[in-house]
Structure formats: C-alpha cells, structure tokens
Amino acid sequence: MALFVCMVLSLWGKIRLPSILGDNMVLQRSDTVNIWGWAAPSQNVTVKPSWDNRIYTTKAENNGKITVCISIRKSGSMVGPMIKLEGYYEEYKESQNEETLYGISREIETIANKAWEQETEIVELGNEIKKGFPAVKDRIHMRLVNAEENQNRLKNIPWIPYLDLAITFHLNFDGDGDEQKSIEVNHQLIDTWNVTPEDLYQTALANMEREDDGTFYRLSDFVESVLHTTPESSGLDMYIMTNKKCAYGATEILRSGELKRRAEEFKSDLVVLPSSVHEVLVLPYEEWMDLDVFRRTVQNVNDDAVKREEQLSNQVYLYQKDKDSLMVA
C-alpha cells in the first residue's frame, strides 16, 4: 500500500522527516505506522494518509519533535495494533546491520500478533459498550496526566482538572499479568451513554475503592528488593505510592482518605513528589525543608530520566492534614 502523506505547515514552519520516510514507500497493510520528524517548537502538524481519508493532528514538542501514530487494520479486522517505530529506527541507525534489522522485524511481528490475538476480547468489550453505561461501569478507571502537555489530546476526551493535572478516563480490559490494557473514553462514548465527566469520576473512585489495590512502601525497601543492595541513607523518610501493577498508579493520591491517613500516621503534613504518571513519592514535611530544592530535583529527573509521555509534573505538592487539602507548593 503506497503512503501519501500531506503535511500542512504554518507559514514560517518547515517539517523535516527522517530518511527512512519518503515518497513512494510501501507499507504492510496489517501494521501500524508511526510518523515522526522535526518542526518548529509548538508548531501544529496535520497528517492525511491516502487510504482512510482521516486527518490526524499533533503538535511539535518544545524541542520541535513531532510524532503521529496511524493505525492500519488488516482486512476484516476491527483491531489495529499501535507500534511505535521511532525507537527501532534509532536502534538500527546505531548498528546499521542486517541482524539488528531482522531482530527488530521479529519483535514488531510478535507485538502485532499479540495484539490481534486480543481481537475477540476487544470486540466483546465493544459489544458491552453498545449496551450502555451500566454494562461497562465496573471497567471505568482514571489516569492522571499533565494538563498543559496534553492540551490537544484533552480537546477530544472528557476530563476533570486537578491542580496542574488532568484526570482522564479509560475502560480497562486487562486480564492476567502486569499489562494495563485499556480504551480511552472519548466524547462520543459519554454522549452515547448520556453521562458526564463527574459521573465517570465518581464511578472510577468507587471502582478504586472496590478493587483496593493501592500500595505504599519505603523507597529504600524498593531499591533494596530490585537492586539487591542497601542504598545509602539520604536522611529523608521517603515512600512510594502507587498500585499493585505500578501502572498509572499516581491516581492513588485521589483515593478517598489515603493522604489523610498517611499524614495522621506521620503526624505531619506531606510533601508529594510527582515521580511519573505511574507513581508519586511521599515524605513527611518538616519545617527545615526547602521545597524549591525538591522542585528543581523533580524537573532535573524529568529531563534526564523520565520519558516525556510518562512525566506527570514539574511541580511539588503539599498536603495539609488540618485542611485535608493537596495543593501546589
């Protein structure tokens, strides 16, 4: 299938694509295509593939990088696996050998086949969705993302503002193992169900309480269990708050009474550091602490060690137990 991509640019912008993407390239019908490149920072980019007449829009990141994912389904299938090619391309550029390319192709094939094996489960979920909200409400879960970094995405989905973050909603259909499989709830779905974002939020909270899969443990214990070594003491009593799968577990700060309970245990207010969308770090607040130092640390870690799509915030939060309130410090 030939790929024809139309890039609509702003008057002053210029888009540059990697050498692997070009005119007259041929794509496998059953794959998902990941288009990436570089443009002016924050520039709007539109991609229109020739085979489905749909228009995909994205916005260049602050460093001018753009990524658009396009799903190509195989004939008769309702499922299109989402495979990001950019990392594979960088891997191939470093080696420039056929063995690496073969390994990449085999890995992509494995991912695609696994996705198609789940087609029955996804189709069944689709049938549940058609039955209405009562049929799927037990699957509703929420995630926390950075509101500013996800402005374009938030235009197309229901969400609730929270501090500098956004609460989004998903239909989980994960089975065994640690994988977190879900479908994001969009405006079309809530219109069909005749529910509001607040309805989704209250339902997700109820599901969170029912499942009761939150975890809270010392950071030093986690490091010791993973690295099998005792870390040097930082002088800070720091804890990880997440869920049992360590997947989108930052939402544990939304669990009813959770922060209040921890503050009462420590007999102090709490400093909450947004480690990533998957977890937060919590420590008892003491008057000598300089929260600006924590803020700079969070930003440096985000810049150096956290994938952009997994960054939650560069802010630091303070939970005040007397007010039972979490705020940007």
Give per-residue pLDDT as tens, 201-244: 999 999 999 998 899 988 877 766 665 566 565 567 899 999 98
Q: Has residue 10 got a pLDDT over 50?
A: no
Q: Are residues 236 and 191 in the same domain?
A: no
Domain total of the chain: 3
Q: What is the pLDDT of residues 160-213, one digit of tens each?
A: 999 999 999 999 876 544 456 788 999 999 999 999 999 999 999 999 999 988
Q: What is the pLDDT of residues 251-272, one digit of tens each?
A: 999 999 999 999 999 999 999 9
Q: Are residues 201 and 141 in the same domain?
A: yes
Average pLDDT across the chain, whole number: 78
DSSP state of 253: G
Q: Do the domain assignments include residue 185?
A: yes
Q: Are residues 12 and 110 in the same domain?
A: yes
Structural domain ending residue among the three candidates 211, 233, 251: 211
pLDDT score recorded for residue 176: 46
Cα(first)–Cα(last) distance of the chain, in Å? 53
Structural domain ending residue among the three candidates 196, 211, 226: 211
Q: Do the domain assignments include residue 1?
A: no
Other C-beta atoms within 10 Å of 326: how many?
A: 17
Q: What is the extent of the structural domain holding 220?
A: 214-328
Structural domain ending residue among the three candidates 164, 187, 211: 211
Question: What percent of the chain is predicted at pLDDT more than 70?
Answer: 67
Residue 291's SS3 state is helix
pLDDT score recorded for residue 1: 31
Q: Are residues 67 and 105 in the same domain?
A: yes
Q: Are residues 66 and 130 in the same domain?
A: no
> What is this structure's pTM?
0.69
Q: Are residues 202 and 221 in the same domain?
A: no
Q: Which two tokens stand for residue 225?
A: 């269990």
Q: What is the pLDDT of residues 272-294, one digit of tens each?
A: 999 999 999 999 999 999 999 99
Q: Are residues 257 and 204 in the same domain?
A: no
